[in-house]
Homo-oligomer: A and B are copies of this chain.
Amino acid sequence: MRPAPALRPSSVSRVLCARRVASFHRYVSYQAPRSVAELLQWRPGEKADDVVVNGFVRSVRSMKAHRFVTLGDGSSLAPLQALVQADHAEGLAVGAAVRLTGSWVSSPGAAQSHELHTPEYLRTLPHLRPRTPVNAVLLRLRSEAIASLTQFFAARSFTQTHPPIITSSDCEGAGEVFTISPANDAPAQDGSQDSFFRSRKYLTVSTQLHLEALAQAVGNVWTLSPVFRAERSDTSRHLSEFYMLEAEMSFVDDLGPVMDLAEDMLRSLSTNLIGTATVQDLLFRSRHSGSDLLPAEDVKRRWEGLMQKDWPRMTYSDAVTLLQQKSDMFTHKPTWGAGLQSEHEKYLAEYVGGGEKPVFITNYPRDIKAFYMRETHTAGPDTPGPTVDCFDLLVPEFCEIAGGSMRVHQLAPLLDAMKRQGFAKPPSEGDPSEVSGGGLDWYVDLRRWGCPPHGGFGLGFDRLLSYLAGVQTVRDIVSFPRWYGRCDC
């Protein structure tokens, strides 16, 4: 049980004196309703006699001849308060969908409503969870973020695309994949054949490879697409299904413009949304409005960090040197050639960005990164081994929020990289029908018929929203989360 948000001054001073309650077990005629958010923004002087408002009852408190009802419709964190005559309020219970008609007038007192459920309990009721006030704010945040990003990319002539969800390849990305088959087929005996698509197909883990093909058509592309991982991890950071924002730019020669794009995008997003009622609901809610939410002042600091200019960019090699100077702070010894541990990333996000700005760490060792990343040609002679033109974007506390790279755009180096990383049979060799290296012959083919230098990045959209909302568990930012062992509704 946790206390509800404090009411805003305007709503404390106002109450709807309902003359009529239509609850929806009967058919009612249609009148133009107001949203709760709209009413709460009226100034104290304003009043009206024939206000109609729709919503769900959040609480009912009995008084002598009246019921004191709070009502939410998802448009605001704060509820509407309504004074309903007892005989109109018969049977009015929490959760009921009602339409109230009445006068919107001043009220002398303040009141409190309550949220009755813990986030863990609500996660077991995903179909009802969004009805709670905080979850409605999270839905609106997602919607406004999508609209803002759509505008950002349209203004830069990036083409929004719909890369495929069902793919032929199972070899990109580190995660486990899901395979699909028609529900009315008998399961294949050897697990390798499927009568519907003639060979085994998978749910995409990243749209990047297809985006590269589309970027050759129209230059710069992006997508906000569901992706899937069959990881058997039950941590607060893992989902089996989530949305990924991916962008790809053609005819860029180095990583600079790719990092610029990621930085501009996040700065534009935070700058555009900070003034909205939705984000104000997040930033100025009561300190006590949810134990699972980061305190509002910490959330505010995250938004302000993204709005800053000139995010630091540091190479992996310099980062390792820096970490080695602080070696005694860490459980894992920082070593060139190994991945950065979470404790290392936390330190870098705190130290390099001053605990405020996000930080780009670039040029990781080639051998711990994906085959499609382009090798660095400008690395200094002191670099201990080959690196690739890539970056991870780290934000304070949360760490990695996006990653990107230049892609290998020439045929021979790509085939070399695939061999090195153990693709059994690079598609260019031998009979194409024998290709078993993950169905990537078409991807290699893109390098055969004219391929410009290109690069891009991917960002876990649900993780970004968690970060922006101060939601501690990514499962709580998704309405119907799916993870290992759980897919309700």
Contact = CB atoms under 8 A, between A and B. Distances in A.
Question: What class of interface size applies to chain A in its complex with B?
Answer: 35 or more
A290 interface: no
Interface in A219-273: 219, 221, 225-226, 228, 230, 232, 240-241, 243, 250-254, 257
Interface stretch (A134-142, A330-338, A361-369): A134-142
A259 to B, nearest CB: 14
A201 interface: yes
A339 to B, nearest CB: 23
A479 B24 contact: no
B453 A162 contact: no
Interface string A29-58: 110010100000000000000000010110
Contacts of A159: 74, 139-140, 142-143
B479 A163 contact: yes
Interface in A140-190: 140, 142-144, 146-147, 150-151, 154, 157-168, 170, 176-184, 186-189
Contacts of A147: 150-151, 154, 160
B180 A128 contact: no
A164 to B, nearest CB: 4
Interface string A185-219: 01111010000111011110000001001101111
Contact of A75 (B136, B162, B189, B218): B218
Contacts of A1: none
Interface in A107-151: 126-128, 130-131, 135-136, 139-140, 142-144, 146-147, 150-151
A130 B159 CA distance: 12
A164 B28 CA distance: 32
Contacts of A326: none
Nearest to A480: B164
A407 interface: no
A221 to B, nearest CB: 8
A450 interface: yes
Given A127-B445, A453-B27, A484-B196, A142 B164 contact: no
A356 interface: no
A450 B181 contact: no
Interface in A278-334: none
A226 B214 CA distance: 18
The secondary-structure label for the interface of chain A is: loop
A183 B187 contact: no
Copy total for this chain: 2
A149 to B, nearest CB: 9
A139 B485 contact: no
A251 B168 contact: no
Contacts of A240: 166, 196-197
Interface string A445-489: 110011111000000000000000000000000111010111111
A64 B74 CA distance: 71
A118 to B, nearest CB: 18
Contacts of A139: 159, 161, 214, 217-218, 221
A482 B182 CA distance: 14
Interface stretch (A94-102, A347-355, A392-400): A94-102
A170 to B, nearest CB: 6
A345 interface: no
Given A27-B253, A183-B202, A73 B35 contact: no
B216 A130 contact: yes
Contacts of A489: 164, 167-168, 210, 213, 439, 442-443
A173 to B, nearest CB: 12
Interface of A: 23-25, 27-30, 33, 35, 54, 56-57, 73-75, 93, 95-99, 126-128, 130-131, 135-136, 139-140, 142-144, 146-147, 150-151, 154, 157-168, 170, 176-184, 186-189, 191, 196-198, 200-203, 210, 213-214, 216-219, 221, 225-226, 228, 230, 232, 240-241, 243, 250-254, 257, 377, 409-410, 439, 442-443, 445-446, 449-453, 478-480, 482, 484-489
Going nearest first, the 7 A-B pairs with the smallest beta carbon separation are A130-B217, A74-B218, A182-B230, A97-B452, A187-B187, A54-B251, A95-B449
